[in-house]
Chain A
Amino acid sequence: MLKFALAGNPNSGKTTLFNTLTGSTTHVGNWPGVTVDKREGVYKKCAKPVSIVDLPGIYSLSPYTPEEVISRNFILNEKPNCVINIVDATNLERNLYLTTQLMEIDVPVVVALNMMDQVKKNDEKINSQKLEEKLGIPVIEISALKSKGIDLLMKRAYQASKSDRKGSTIFKSSSLGHLINDVKIALTETSKVSNVLFHAIKLIEMDPLEVADHGDLVKIIDKFKTTFSDSTFGSDFEAFVADSRYKYISKNFSPVLTRPASHKIENLTKSDKVDRVLTHRIWGIPIFLVILFAIFHLTFSEDFLYLGAMGVLSEDFITLEGSFYEGMFGEGSIFSPGVILFNFLDISMTGLSDLVASAMEGAVADWAAGFIVDGILGGLFAVLSFLPQILVLFLFFSILEDSGYMARIAFILDRIFRKFGLSGRAFMPMIMGFGCSIPAMINTRTLADDNERSATIRVIPFFSCGAKLPILTAIAGGIVMVFKIGSAEIITYSMYLLGIATAIVSVLFLRNTTLKGEVPPFIMELPSYHSPQFKSLMLHLWDKAKHFVKKAFTIILASTIVIWVISHFSWGWEFLPNELIDQSILAGIGQLLRPLFTPLGFGSQLNSWGWVFVVAAVTGLIAKENVIATFGTLAACITAGFAPNEALEGIDSVVEMIAATGITVPALISFIAFNMTTIPCFAAVATAKAELKDQKRFNATLMFWLLSSYIVGTIVYVIGTWWWSLFIIIAITVLAVLTIIFLNKKEYTFKKKKAQYGAF
């Protein structure tokens, strides 16, 4: 099968083009570095099927970053039949730098001038025909986002793939041309190497990979270089070659771009103007916090825009008393869109449970009815009822991402994280952690420093993922319903901030103790703001919904079956009715582990049903949704005076648990904090193991997660129960920080002296 590679600068639209060509729904983000590994798909509209490989975004073919190494090795070693070079037409000069390097390889290259719609919108013009003549390779105007020009691009790429193209360079007639020819001759005489032109130029640049491969030629090349002198760059040939490329591009290629007469370089674009506010030194972070709160308000609030609290609405406003929709849209207030959708699904699922329960009554054995209604439906619906709120929350996150604001968040938070030992580059995977820890951990491959990477992987689970949302929402809802304090959106929002704060403290601790290292500089191109694409948003949501439902009907379903079985059988393998499940295997395990959780508030201090919180936390290690599924499965069994065969979903199951166990608010918050910061799901643990590679680091990571969740949970419970303990905890923290600073200073002085006086 023919193989075409997509190569281009970060955020130039490679993944969008890849999705358009292959029909995939791979995640596309409006920030650089979304793709960290190559992906493959098939394009079938050419005469023969073509395998399309999406390479990570790169600025050059020099091995500065892991992405550049991946892309370079693929093009040189796997020899694709054609390279489609995606060029961001709104940033022509910078993007053509990579094009001039790709042209030096013996492979057919086709340039796809992407974002042409944006160029036209800016009243600019690019003479693609003239550019094609100057480059000597096909240039096709496209818009990957709007699927324009794609067929022509593939047609030209297919034609080009039939040719046997030899590399060409823009330095042919420059002062470097002679030197390149000399190195080419030396290369061909000493070894049988393909892509001679590319390797020759890279050897002149003293590219570390080339020097390692052709070390024997270094002396000869140095000799050639003595005949060549440059007053500006001296012997720094890498800088000289780069400068020559840019000068050539500026002189020969830039004239193909025509800007409107009114355009001035110093004019600020719309994006620049918006950035002046959103990335402001002082206001940037407060604005981010307000935006985040607004999202939580729209998703979780039971008092939309606080109209109820302000007394704008009457008590019976849209209660729809007596109807099927009673209490769905509001009670004395209007519910937020997330809550309305949640209520709709909750009412539908309760109706379905009741229907199944009444159909089974008397027709099947009591245990079977209980198993289906309480166990399976209770567990499944407890989780599924949160799907609307998850989708609403991720719709807003996707809008932030697609619009380009997420990239700004990394830029804003870089200032904070840098002080604690991580670069903004490490923050990109952390933001991805809000969606799912797994891609976030994979994305840490962009970090060159192993210690920084390990620290990032360890704190990623603290950025609450979608699977943890049911825990947050159900318990926050339970607290509001039972204790009548706070509001669901403030509790959920605070827990997200607690996760970020825990990550910051952990990074500070790790980067000053076991995972020390320099903070690399963070340079990131901020993409232009653009309106989110409806199709792209829907694809994100579809992926999320599909994943959630698939997980519910596989892992969660299997878990609820197992939980129900081991909660209804004794150690002697005798069946137990609902009233006796505290003698079950599950209860036995919970009782055994219970004392361990006493410092966190949900251990021995709870009454006899307290073990349920312990087993829920343990089942959450398989998948976080299991925590609420466990409540759903067991709620009907342990509720005093429960109506038989009535499944309790989501928040209701938590309300029953609170009533049955006597758990306090601080203990409930501690329970959320523990689940947010403890060992993530099996899938994320497997990814961490694969990414960390080193077994010792992996074991240390597991220990770190266990310890941090235990400490965070304990702190939350202790402060919540005895407020004055806050001062003791602050004192201990200050003492710990001072100790770390003192020890590090001592070590630094020792190293400085060692460097000054040599080995002692």
Chain B
Amino acid sequence: MGLFEIALIVVCTLIVVGVVGAAIRRKVKGKGSGFCSSCYECCNDCPFNAYKADKKDNK
């Protein structure tokens, strides 16, 4: 197995772990990024607690 293949396996593992981990983090800790439902209806009762973490300021 060459370097490219090893790098491919590592990167893909990180992607899967990252996405699943972010989802769990949101659910358990109620913050973090990566798994917001992005429903554009940001409110204080965001089911993913994404709102408080991602809310925007003006320029």
Chain A residues with a Cβ under 8 A of chain B: 21-27, 35-45, 363-365, 367-368, 371-372, 436, 438-439, 442-443, 543, 546-547, 550-551, 554-555, 557-558, 561-562, 683-684, 686-687, 689-691
Apart from the given pairs A26-B42, A558-B15, 12 other A-B contacts in the complex at a CB distance below 8 Å: A24-B55, A24-B56, A36-B43, A39-B44, A41-B57, A44-B58, A363-B4, A364-B4, A368-B8, A438-B41, A555-B35, A686-B37
> In the complex, which residues of chain A have a beta carbon less than 8 angstroms from the beta carbon of B55?
24, 40-41
Residues of B within 8 A of A (CB): 1-2, 4-5, 8, 12, 15-16, 18-20, 22, 27, 34-35, 37-45, 47-48, 51, 55-59
Are B40 and A543 in contact (CB-based, < 8 A)? yes
Name, among A543, A558, A561, the residue most crowded by chain B CB atoms within 10 Å (CB to CB): A558
Contact status B20-A558, CB under 8 Å: yes
Given the known interface contacts A558-B16, A561-B15, the answer about A687 and B43 at a Cβ–Cβ threshold of 8 Å is no
A439-B12 contact in complex given A687-B47, A690-B47, C-beta closer than 8 Å: no
Give the complex CA separation of A40 and B43 in angstroms. Answer: 8
Q: Please state if A37 and B58 are interface contacts (CB–CB under 8 Å).
A: no
In chain A, what residue has the closest Cβ to B56? A24
Which residues from chain B contact A26 at a C-beta distance below 8 Å? 40-42
Q: With A24-B42, A26-B41 as known contacts, state yes or no: A557 contacts B47, CB within 8 Å.
A: no
Interchain Cβ contacts under 8 Å between A and B, 28 examples: A22-B57, A24-B55, A26-B40, A27-B40, A37-B44, A38-B43, A39-B42, A40-B44, A41-B58, A42-B57, A364-B2, A365-B1, A438-B39, A438-B47, A439-B39, A439-B41, A442-B43, A547-B38, A547-B40, A555-B19, A555-B35, A558-B15, A561-B12, A562-B16, A684-B37, A686-B48, A687-B47, A691-B47
* Residues from chain B with Cβ under 8 Å of A24 in the complex: 42, 55-56, 58
Interfacial chain A residues near B43, Cβ < 8 Å:
35-39, 442
Question: Least Cβ distance of A398 to chain B in Å?
Answer: 12
**Complex: chain A residue closest to B26, CB-CB:** A686
- Of B2, B16, B18, B35, which one neighbours A365 at CB under 8 angstroms? B2
Residues of the A chain whose Cβ atoms lie less than 8 Å from the Cβ of B27: 686
Q: Give chain A nearest CB distance to B41 CB in angstroms.
A: 4
Q: Given the complex, which residues of A lie within 8 Å of B47, measured CB to CB?
A: 438, 442, 683, 686-687, 689-691
Check A436 against B58 for contact (C-beta < 8 Å). no
The residue in chain A whose Cβ has the minimal distance to the Cβ of B34 is A554
Total number of residue pairs linking A and B with CB closer than 8 Å: 110
B16: chain A residues at CB < 8 Å are 558, 561-562
Contact of B45 among A22, A442, A555 (CB under 8 A): A442
Closest CB in chain B relative to A395 CB, distance in Å? 15
Instruction: Give Cα A550 to B57, complex, Å.
Output: 21
Question: Closest residue of chain A to B4, judged by CB?
Answer: A364
Q: Could you say which residues of chain B place their CB within 8 Å of the CB of A37?
A: 43-45
Question: A21 touching B38 by the CB < 8 A rule?
Answer: no
Chain A residues near B58 (CB-CB < 8 A): 21-24, 41-45
Contacts of B34 in A (CB 8 A): 554
CB of B42 within 8 A of CB of A23, answer no
Establish whether residues A683 and B5, one from each chain, have CB atoms under 8 Å apart when the complex forms.
no
Residues of B contacting A22 with CB < 8 Å? 56-58
Bound complex: CA A346 to CA B27 (Å) = 36
A21: which B residues are within 8 A, CB to CB? 58
> Could you tell me the distance between the alpha carbons of A45 and B57 in the complex, rounded to whole angstroms?
11
Q: Is the CB of B4 within 8 A of A557?
A: no
Q: Which of B42, B43, B44 has the most CB of A within 10 A?
A: B43
Enumerate chain B residues within 8 angstroms of A690, measured Cβ to Cβ: 45, 47
Taking the closest CB of chain A, its distance from the CB of B46, in whole angstroms, is 9
Q: Which of these, A364, A439, A684, contacts B5 with CB under 8 Å?
A: A364
Instruction: Indicate whether A438 sits within 8 Å of B4 (C-beta atoms), given known contacts A24-B56, A39-B43, A41-B55.
Output: no
Q: How far is the CA of A297 from the CA of B5 in the complex (A)?
A: 46
Q: Which residues of B are found within 8 Å of A23, using beta-carbon distances?
A: 56-59
Contact between chains at B57 and A551 (CB < 8 Å) = no
Contacts of A36 in B (CB 8 A): 43
Which residues of the partner chain B approach A438 to less than 8 Å between Cβ atoms? 37, 39, 41, 47
Q: In whole Å, how far is A556's beta carbon from the nearest beta carbon of chain B?
A: 10
Q: Specify which chain A residues have a CB less than 8 angstroms from the CB of B35 in the assembled complex.
A: 554-555
Shortest distance between the CB of A541 and any CB in chain B (Å):
11
Distance in angstroms between the alpha carbons of A550 and B40 in the assembled complex: 13
Q: Which residues of A contact B44 (CB under 8 A)?
A: 37-40
Name which of B22, B57, B58 has the most chain A CB atoms within 10 A of its CB.
B58
Taking CB as reference atom, which chain A residue is nearest B5? A368
Chain A residue nearest to B17 in the complex (CB): A558
A691 to B56, CA, bound (A): 25
Q: A226 to chain B: closest CB distance in Å?
A: 45
- Residues of chain B with a CB closer than 8 A to A44's CB: 57-58
Do B1 and A27 have beta carbons less than 8 Å apart?
A: no
Is A442 touching B41 in the complex (CB atoms < 8 A)?
yes
Q: Which of B5, B39, B48, B51 has the most CB of A within 10 A?
A: B39
Assembled-state Cα–Cα distance A554/B27 (Å):
17
CB-based closest 5 A-B pairs: A23-B58, A439-B41, A438-B39, A37-B43, A558-B19
Complex Cα spacing A546 to B58, Å: 19
A107 to B38, CA, bound (A): 35
The chain B residue sitting closest to A367, CB to CB, is B5
- Measured between beta carbons, the chain B residues less than 8 angstroms from A684 are 37
Q: Nearest Cβ distance between residue A198 and chain B, in whole angstroms?
A: 24
Task: Tell me if B56 and A687 are in contact (CB < 8 A).
Answer: no
Residues in B neighbouring A371, C-beta threshold 8 A: 8
B40 & A25 in contact (Cβ 8 Å cutoff): yes
Chain A residue at smallest Cβ distance from B8:
A368
A557 to B57, Cβ gap below 8 A?
no
Instruction: For the complex formed, measure the closest distance between the CB of A66 and the CB atoms of chain B, giving whole angstroms.
Output: 12
A21 to B22, CA, bound (A): 31
**Which residue of B is nearest A553, CB measured?**
B15
A687 vs B4: C-alpha distance in the bound complex, in angstroms?
41
- A45 to chain B: which residues have CB within 8 Å? 58
Q: Please indicate the chain B residues that have their CB under 8 angstroms from the CB of A689 in the complex.
A: 47
Q: Which residues of B contact A691 (CB under 8 A)?
A: 47
Closest-CB distance, A342 to chain B (whole angstroms):
23
Which of A25, A36, A368 has the most chain B CB within a 10 Å cutoff? Answer: A368
Name the A residues within 8 Å of B40 (CB-CB): 25-27, 436, 439, 543, 547
- Cβ–Cβ < 8 Å partners of B57 in chain A: 22-23, 41-42, 44
B28 to chain A, nearest CB (A): 13
| In the complex, residue of chain B having the shortest beta-carbon distance to the beta carbon of A561 | B12
Chain B hits for A372, CB < 8 A: 8
B37 contact set on A, CB distance < 8 A: 436, 438, 683-684, 686-687
